[in-house]
Amino acid sequence: MKLTQADFKKRRDRLAEQMGSNSVAVIATRAEMYRNRDADYKYRADSSFYYLTGFAEPEAVAVIETFAQGEAYRYTLFCRERNREMEIWNGYRAGLEGAVEQYHADQAFAIHELDQKIVPLLLNKSKLFVRLGQTKKFDAEVGGWLHKAKAMQRQGGDAPQQIIQIDSIIDEMRLKKSAQEIELMQIASNISAEAHTRAMQTVKPDMMEYALEAELNYIFGKNGCVPAYNSIVGGGENACILHYVENNKPLKDGDLVLIDAACEYECYASDITRTFPVNGKFSPEQKALYNIVLDAQLAAIDATRIGNNYKYPHEVAVKILTQGLVDLGLLQGDVDELIESEAFRQFFMHGTGHWLGMDVHDVGSYKIDEDWRAYEAGMVVTVEPGLYVAPDDETVDAKWRGIGIRIEDDIVVTENGPLVLTKNVVKTVEEIEQLMAS
Ligand code: GLY
Ligand code: MN
Ligand code: MN
């Protein structure tokens, strides 16, 4: 399943409608990123730019103009011109013709003419929607265009009077996913679930963390996907480093391994974490902590419902985790007081979830004015509680030290309650042990 140009057009229609009359929106894609001598990182378009255009080439800027009268708007795409020699070296370009014919721009100009050609598009508009504060280079370019437009005052031109962050419109559009977007995220989730299943089936003591990462990458790659973020494959105490990405240590018999890895499909991300025993069997301590995290996760998923506020699943998870830590003797005291004083943060120091979409940490405000916003149908959020006992934590019995656990799934808020996109990968102790024994 892929989106069509008709789908991207509908998004531009909605943006234009919200901009109001006599306005202009300018959105640029991301720059290519240098890795080291003559080698770039594989290119990935800016998510909001791609959301509106479906155009995946670098060096492109989209402009949408509304007019004083009528509902029609004009969509201009600045992009790279076709160039036989450059295309022999670096690959196909749609060019100006392709921008119009394949990508349905009303007109297209060469990107190297941006500075000259964009100024007339901004002249005498009342509002300019743009994304400032992303890169200094683009901020300076916008400043230059405004300066040029203002200099035209004696010829009857002027710069837009109001500058508005375009993200205020696009982020809100992206936050609530359409049925098609959910379908794409379901595909990404299914592939990622398959990758985690394969990891559970192939892990063995003494395997290197990167070798296990390669098993995940094989499934992503053979499905035409790339990782949505740097994979975390942390054995034993490495699981207690929240953003561990070195993945270069051997996996030890008797340890758990935490894998936080998932792919993106057609620029839509998934985000899965599973934690399982390297040798296929949980120890009593691992199992005890694991089941607390699982209980917290299941309850938090169930709390991800229309009308509940964004923080509510976190509060539900914190309560269960804190109670569990007290029951096992890792924390002492009254559960409510331990929550109030945030004593649980010794073992659970991150949030329980984030918006998920084209970006793994997706756009969309978490608060409206002062208050955490309420869940609405079509929002997608992760639920990912964890417990991490530092290897040098002298406040707890030695048997708990160095155990790190997180369980993460992707949830769509629906009229019928939480829909778990990532359900294809097992997560109870029994299911995991059974899969790993087979
Ligand atoms: N994988 C990034 C996160 O879980 O937030
Ligand atoms: Mn996450
Ligand atoms: Mn994750």
Q: Mind listing the pLDDT tens digit for each residue in 253-293?
A: 999 999 999 999 999 999 999 999 999 999 999 999 999 99
Best residue among 408, 409, 410, 411 to mutate for probing ligand 1, ranked by most atoms within 8 Å of CB = 408
Tokens for 88, please give them. Answer: 């022999």
DSSP string, 128-195: EEE--SS-HHHHHHHHHHHHHHHTTGGGT----SEEEETHHHHHHHHHS--HHHHHHHHHHHHHHHHH
Would strands 404-406 and 386-388 be described as parallel, antiparallel, or unpaired?
Answer: antiparallel
CA of 333 to the centre of ligand 1 (A): 31
CB 79 within 8 A of CB 94: yes
> 338 lies in which domain range?
176-437
What is the chain's length? 438
- Dihedral, CA of residue 376, residue 381, residue 387 and residue 388, to nearest 10: -140
Examine the pLDDT at 28 and tell me if it is beyond 90: yes
115 carries an active-site annotation: no
Examine the pLDDT at 71 and tell me if it is beyond 90: no
Percent of the chain exceeding pLDDT 90 equals 97
180 backbone dihedrals φ, ψ, rounded to 5°? -65, -40
Examine the pLDDT at 318 and tell me if it is beyond 90: yes
What CA–CA distance (Å, rounded) separates 230 from 71?
A: 43
- Could you say which of 196, 274, 305, 406 is catalytic? 406
What CA–CA distance (Å, rounded) separates 387 from 289?
A: 7
Instruction: Assess whether 182 and 103 both reside in one domain.
Output: no
* Ligand 1 nearest atom to the CA of residue 354, by list position: 5
Residues with Cβ within 8 Å of 280's Cβ and at least 6 positions away in sequence, in order, are 433, 436, 437
Examine the pLDDT at 337 and tell me if it is beyond 90: yes
Choosing from 174, 201, 222, the residue where a domain stops is 174
- Could you say which of 384, 409, 410, 433 is catalytic? 384
The CA-CA-CA angle for residues 305, 307, 309, to 5°, reads: 85
Best residue among 196, 260, 272, 297 to mutate for probing ligand 1, ranked by most atoms within 8 Å of CB = 260
Q: What digits encode the pLDDT tens for the residues 241-257?
A: 999 999 999 999 999 99
Task: Please tell me the residue having the least CA distance from ligand 1 atom 3.
Answer: 271
* DSSP label at residue 22: S
Question: Pick from 160, 77, 153: which is nearest to 122 by CA?
Answer: 160
Q: What digits encode the pLDDT tens for the residues 360-408?
A: 999 999 999 999 999 999 999 999 999 999 999 999 999 999 999 999 9
CA of 167 to the centre of ligand 1 (A): 22
- Find how far residue 96's CA is from the centre of its chain: 31
How much is the mean pLDDT over the chain? 97
Instruction: Assess whether 214 and 292 both reside in one domain.
Output: yes
Instruction: Assess whether 142 and 222 both reside in one domain.
Output: no
Q: What is the pLDDT of residue 216?
A: 98
Return the CATH number at 302: 3.90.230.10
171 carries an active-site annotation: no
Instruction: Assess whether 202 and 339 both reside in one domain.
Output: yes
Q: Which residues pair with 434 in a beta bridge?
A: none
Task: Please tell me the residue having the least CA distance from ligand 1 atom 4.
Answer: 271
Return the CATH number at 109: 3.40.350.10
Average confidence (pLDDT) over 320-344: 98
Average confidence (pLDDT) over 68-75: 92
* DSSP label at residue 92: -
Element (H, E) at 202: helix 179-202
Instruction: Assess whether 210 and 101 both reside in one domain.
Output: no
Q: Which residues pair with 208 in a beta bridge?
A: 250
Examine the pLDDT at 347 and tell me if it is beyond 90: yes
Instruction: Assess whether 131 and 181 both reside in one domain.
Output: no
* Ligand 1 nearest atom to the CA of residue 228, by list position: 1
Neighbours of 187 (CB within 10 A): 19
What CA–CA distance (Å, rounded) separates 344 from 337?
A: 10
Q: What digits encode the pLDDT tens for the residues 93-141?
A: 999 999 999 999 999 999 999 999 999 999 999 999 999 999 999 999 9
Instruction: Assess whether 308 and 323 both reside in one domain.
Output: yes
Instruction: Assess whether 319 and 370 both reside in one domain.
Output: yes
Instruction: Assess whether 78 and 57 both reside in one domain.
Output: yes
Residues with Cβ within 8 Å of 145's Cβ and at least 6 positions away in sequence, in order, are 115, 118, 119, 122
* Ligand 1 nearest atom to the CA of residue 229, by list position: 1
Q: State whether the beta carbon of 350 lies less than 6 angstroms from ligand 1.
A: no
Q: What is the pLDDT of residue 70?
A: 83
Residues with beta carbon < 5 A to ion ligand 2?
271, 382
Instruction: Assess whether 341 and 272 both reside in one domain.
Output: yes
What CA–CA distance (Å, rounded) separates 114 from 80?
A: 11
Q: Which residues pair with 414 in a beta bridge?
A: 417
Q: What one-letter code names the amino acid at 277?
A: P
Instruction: Assess whether 301 and 409 both reside in one domain.
Output: yes
CA of 114 to the centre of ligand 2 (A): 38
Give me the residue label for tokens 């030695």: 398
Letter string b/e over residues 34-51, b meaning 16 or more CB atoms within 10 A of that residue's CB = eeeeeeeeeebbbbbbbb
Choosing from 174, 193, 213, the residue where a domain stops is 174
Best residue among 380, 382, 388, 409 to mutate for probing ligand 1, ranked by most atoms within 8 Å of CB = 382
- Find how far residue 169's CA is from the centre of its chain: 18
Instruction: Assess whether 189 and 164 both reside in one domain.
Output: no
Q: State whether the beta carbon of 245 lies less than 6 angstroms from ligand 1.
A: no
- How many folded domains does the chain comprise? 2
Choosing from 149, 174, 199, the residue where a domain stops is 174
Task: Please tell me the residue having the least CA distance from ligand 1 atom 5.
Answer: 361
